[in-house]
Structure 1
């Protein structure tokens, strides 16, 4: 048992993953703050124009998907590291519909 623990503690791959998990946890915090700014902008746009802004809508969707990728990595559900180590837009892997061309 102690040998297995010692072996696990000496694995460089595990320590690299822990390092990247800390980096992506910090990035995730920044992205969540940016998402709140997007939310507020979308609310303001809706109040002023009566409809959602398509550019803000698509940007918010993109940030939401990125946050999801970060959470998948942090919870060990995937070994694929999020952007910048993989593609930014990975909606095909998530089986999500394509982004909207116009606001409803």
Structure 2
């Protein structure tokens, strides 16, 4: 039993996975901060102009899709690393739940 654990601890892939987990936890924190800023800018836009900013809507949607990709990776629901190791979320994810 101890030998199996020792072998698992010596696997390079496990440590690389741990590094990427820490990296994407940091990235998700940055992206979530951006989403909060977009939320405030969108609110100000509604107060000033009476309508939402379509560019901020689209950016918020893409960032939400990116956070979703990160969460799937961090919870081991997928082995595919999110951007920058894959493509940025595309228009396909943009069509879901469109408010515009």
- Verify same fold: TM over 0.5: yes
Cα deviation for residue 49 of structure 1 reads 1.4
TM-score, normalization by structure 2 = 0.90
Gaps of 5+ in 1: none
Match in the other structure for 2:95: 98
**CA RMSD in angstroms, aligned pairs only:** 1.8
Structure-2 residue corresponding to 1:22: 22
Using the TM superposition, name which of 31-40 and 43-52 deviates more. 43-52
TM-score, normalised via structure 1 length: 0.87
Structure 2 match to 1:56: 56
Check conservation: 1:35, 1:63, Cα contact below 8 A: yes
* Distance in 2 separating the partners of 1:34 and 1:66: 12
Gaps of 5+ in 2: none
Q: Which runs of 4+ in 1 moved over 2 A?
A: none
- The answer to whether structure 1 residue 2 and structure 2 residue 2 are counterparts is yes
1:9 and 1:90 map into 2 onto residues whose CA distance is 37
- Paired with 1:55 and 1:83, the residues of 2 have a C-alpha distance of 21
Aligned residues: 99
The alpha-carbon distance between structure 1 residues 64 and 21, as it changes in their structure 2 partners (threshold 3 A), is same
